[in-house]
Structure 1
Amino acid sequence: MTIYAISATLGSLTDDRPPIGAVPSPGVAEPYLRLRRTAYVRPRFVPVVWDVPGDYPAAHPYVRRYWIPILGPGAVADLLRLATAAQRGRSLPRPVHLEELARVGFVRETASVVLVRTSIPAVPARLRRRLPPRVQRELNAGGDVR
């Protein structure tokens, strides 16, 4: 077996992607055969609109401009999908970033229902430090994105 074949075999065993049919050695198999969290079938549910006053609709450019640097693009995309599904009464798979959205108060999860804010507040002062300096200055200067 050449060095390239060995490194290719080991490379496929050491990353976090789902297995592709390679059978590793018996002692090596366990930690490398775990699937990444997005590879599992996630349960579906129908989110419900949570009527809480806010400053901006979920689809407003302000949400993308100022909340993406704080929460990340995946969490904001999940928020937009949840808000749209709640408004239309449609089901969707459980979002990967649901816990992050619950932590900042955009989602509330109970045993039987997931409530989603469709009106998003302005970025609070305690979270503004996560923004890049240029975006902080823009927001502090009254950065209202239209």
Structure 2
Amino acid sequence: MSAADLAWTDPSCPVARTLDLVGDRWSLLVIRDAMDGARSFTEFQRRTGIARNILTDRLRRLTAHGLLARRAAAPSGRRQEYVLTDAGRDLFPVIVTLRQWGERHAFEPGEAHSTLVDQHGDPVPELTPVGADGSILDTGTTRVRKAG
């Protein structure tokens, strides 16, 4: 499925286009679990609790939009598995940012939650956008330049 096959919510806005592709709860949870090693339909369903028909739809959409690819699973090759494409892996900072926002705002102080750690077991540092000069960027230091 190409961009021309979609009716975009806001054709010139990258945020709107991204949300049209992955903006529902289930799509992002499937991507999250693919990043955490899930490959099979059964794994995605077990991890998310998603209904089979919804999972089938999300896997189809994510594959059609080039975020996941289907391939024959080893060793038999009879089953299919889903793997992240480069575009799917490019969502990693988005997932990390959502996770970090959730850690700050979706839990009560002291409430237990999972933690993303690096290969050494250290918590992943806060992702903060910075400008070319290294200054921290936020809503007060950026603006949108409209297309056209």
Q: Give the TM-score, by structure 1 length.
A: 0.25
In terms of Rg, which structure is larger? 1
Which structure features the higher share of strand residues?
A: 1
Task: Report which structure shows greater RCO (CA 8 Å, sep ≥6).
Answer: 1
Q: Give the TM-score, by structure 2 length.
A: 0.25
